[in-house]
Amino acid sequence: MWSALQLVLSIVASIFLYHLFKVIRWIFFHPLSYTAKPALRGPPSPSWLLGHLKLTWFNVYRPGETSIFDKWRELYGNTFSVKGPFGKQGIVTMDTKTIQHILKNDHIYVKPPSTQGILRMMLGEAPSVLLSEGAQHRAQRKVMNPAFGPNHIRELTRTFFEKATELRDIWANHVQPSGIGKVDAADWLSKATMDVIGLTGFNYSFNALNDRGQVNELNQTLGAMIRTTFKPSTVWMLVLTALPIRPLLRALSWASGTTAAMQNAAERMQRIGREILAESKAYLAATGEKDGSVGARDLISLLLKSNMSTEIPPEERMSDVDVIAQIPTFVIAGFETTSVSTTWALFELAQNPQIQSKLREELLSVHTSTPRMEQLNELPHLDAFVRETLRLHAPLTATYRAATQDDLLPLTQPIIDGEGKIHNELLIRKGQNISLSLFEVNTDKSLWGPDAYEFKPDRWLSIPDSVNTIPGVWSNLMTFLGGPRGCIGWRFALIEMKALLFTLVRSFELQLDVPKEELVVVSAASMQRPSLRSEPNRARLPLLIRPLQMSEH
């Protein structure tokens, strides 16, 4: 009996010592333990355990207030160091030349394990376009590109307007006899964009946009995912970063419910994805190539058709597993970012009556309530307003990369190291993590001028030449990233956002329903959302709406 106990204890001790060795090696000998050359300056670490992680993951500040990264830029320049868990060094850069080099060389710079970890928890283990790298990613983009081209987005514009009109009618029902209604724009826009991605993505009706308060399974699934990003626990943040002790931390996180909620949500998304794929295949088998039907125009149907094209070599075609992996990616990327961006647009209109009136005048000059994509793009004030919204309120504030080999990073702005020496390039080591600060590029005063933090749509009538150095895929902005991994759905997002604004601004006068001082920006997991100081754990934008006279439509 005693010998059996000794054996068990020996096994337990051996396992413990093995993991202890891995932790010690990871903390002290992992590439992130080494300092980049030259040694970068940066803010002092508030904690050896978490470093700056908690401060940068979840941050609350006033709209128009300088971000924490911008404050650090003023002290340390465009490229500086921050600390991660266990004293690990990370690099933050807002240098456009550095960012261009990193995004262009996607074979060297890939998503770091921490980012891959959270994406796998949200999307599952299958290789979606957000998770895949290298040749697999290029093959997936080749198959998917036709579904996001201008010809297809033109066909989807009608669906964008159908849901925008449905949202308008629901809001109209909230108007009281006094002529004023109260709505939470953030909540309703998330429902509208969820319905849009369901219909245009998979010919699937989520029925999120209803005035009866009904919540379907997908609403619950996505809500569970998003809530975990608003204010995650310390243990959960470490699960994503401390790789050698992830099994232990994951168990603790399971006990707290965070990881369990994320994994359950991901599994439900996978099951819904399998159902959608089966229905899409059955529909295509029954209808063939009838592109004129709504079902044949959804993204998954086009992806399946493209996948069967003779132009795609058999070895580059996507398997059913690959196709299913894109479905939760379409949903999460396709509804949340557009919802947040449009909410920010209404926020700016509500507090800028002159901009609102000027935009409405242009929209009411269009003699149809459902213009074509080309007509939307020919409206200069709407276009400038959307560009300025996406500049100042880019939903994604940063993206992360890890170097797969040692590399020299070019710099626009020289680095001053801890000894006061000036350097024109930065040696980065294999395994080093780099944060690309997208929001800070979009608001860089050296590029956009001293009014970079001010909302001014008219700036787009004559933008400075300096912004031409910004390596974005669209409009000299980093909002949709750039390079081979630039956002594939940027056209989709722009036209959907314009359709929603076109319909709502023509129909209602908008005003804030809370004091301006109560509104805050919640930056959580690199997403910035509008919220309330008293309730920062979810997106909020309470508005007062006044319907315009029908004769004005």
What would the pLDDT profile of 426-456 be if each residue is shown by its tens digit? 999 999 999 999 999 999 999 999 999 999 9
Nearest to 393 by CA among 133, 50, 63: 63
Q: What is the pLDDT of residue 295?
A: 47
Tell me whether the omega of the peptide bond preceding residue 232 falls within 30 degrees of 0, making it cis.
no
pLDDT at 29 over 60: no
The string of pLDDT tens digits covering residues 37-68 is 558 899 998 888 778 877 777 778 888 888 88
Tell which residue, 496, 485, 422, 411, has the closest CA to residue 193: 496
162 alpha carbon, distance to own chain's centre: 25
Among residues 463, 466, 464, 445, the alpha carbon closest in space to that of 454 is found at: 445
Residue 477 binned pLDDT confidence (cut-offs 50, 70, 90): very high
Q: How far apart are CA 142 and CA 144, in angstroms?
A: 6
Decide: 304 and 490 in contact? Cβ < 8 Å.
no
Q: E-strand spans in 154-290? A: 181-184
Q: How far apart are CA 167 and CA 234, in angstroms?
A: 38
- Decide which of 316 and 174 is more confident: 174
The pLDDT value recorded for residue 251 is 52
pLDDT score for 398: 93
Given a cut of 60, is residue 309 above it in pLDDT? yes
pLDDT score for 324: 82
Q: What average pLDDT does the structure give for the chain? A: 83
Helix (H) or strand (E) holding 79: strand 79-83
Reply yes or no on whether the pLDDT at 32 is more than 50: no
Higher pLDDT, 274 or 397: 397
Q: Which residue type occupies 512? A: L
Whether 131 and 116 have beta carbons less than 8 Å apart is answered as yes
pLDDT given at position 293: 43
Cα gap 109→441, rounded to integer Å: 19
Q: State the Cα–Cα distance between residues 201 and 334, nearest whole angstrom.
A: 9
pLDDT for 117 beyond 90: no
Least confident of 14-23, 294-303, 396-405, 468-477: 14-23
Burial class, 81, CB count within 10 angstroms (exposed 0-12 / middle 13-18 / buried 19+): buried
Residue-level pLDDT at 33: 46
Is the pLDDT at 467 greater than 70? The verdict is yes
Kindly state the average pLDDT of the residues 194-208. 86
pLDDT for residue 391 is more than 60 = yes
SS3 label, residue 407: strand
- pLDDT score at 38: 58
Q: Is 487 labeled as ligand-binding?
A: yes
Q: At 509, is the pLDDT very low, low, confident or very high (cuts 50, 70, 90)?
A: very high
Identify which of 307, 305, 270 has the alpha carbon closest to the alpha carbon of residue 285.
305
97-112 pLDDT per residue, tens:
999 999 999 999 999 8
Query: What is the strand order of the sheet 508-512 is part of?
Result: 181-184, 542-547, 508-512
CA distances 314 to 269, 303, 326, 334, Å, are: 28, 15, 19, 28
More confident: 403 or 539 = 403
What's residue 455's pLDDT? 97
Contacts of 110 (CB under 8 A, 6+ apart): 133, 401, 402, 404
Per-residue CA distances from 175 to 171, 240, 276, 494, 543 (Å): 7, 45, 37, 29, 12
Binned at pLDDT 50, 70 and 90, residue 294 comes out as very low
Say yes or no to pLDDT of 168 above 90.
yes
Q: What is the mean pLDDT of residues 117-122?
A: 75
Sheet holding 109-110, edge to edge: 79-83, 89-93, 433-437, 398-403, 109-110
User: pLDDT tens digits, residue range 64-86?
Assistant: 888 889 999 999 999 999 988 77
pLDDT at 15: 57
8 Å CB contact between 433 and 93: no
DSSP per-residue string spanning 111-164: --HHHHHHHHHHH-SS--TTT--HHHHHHHHHHHGGGGSHHHHHHHHHHHHHHH
CA distance linking residue 507 with residue 547, whole number of Å? 6
Name the residue among 105, 127, 101, 104 with its Cα closest to residue 116.
127
Please tell me the distance from the alpha carbon of residue 113 to that of residue 383, in angstroms, as a whole number.
38
Taking Cα atoms as reference points, which of 75, 95, 39, 84 lies closest to residue 471? 95
Q: Is the dihedral of CA 196, 202, 205, 206 positive or negative?
A: negative
Contact 91, 433 (CB under 8 A): yes
The full set of domains in the chain, from first to last, is 30-552 (1.10.630.10)
pLDDT at 273 over 70: yes
State yes or no: pLDDT of 21 exceeds 70.
no
H or E segment and range at residue 92: strand 89-93
Q: How confident is the model at residue 325 (pLDDT cuts 50, 70, 90)?
A: confident
Q: Is the pLDDT of residue 484 over 50?
A: yes
Q: To which H or E segment does residue 263 belong? A: helix 258-287
> Residue 129 corresponds to which amino acid?
V
> Which of 114-118, 151-155, 330-334, 383-387 is most confident?
383-387
pLDDT of res. 344 = 97
Residue 408 pLDDT exceeds 90: yes
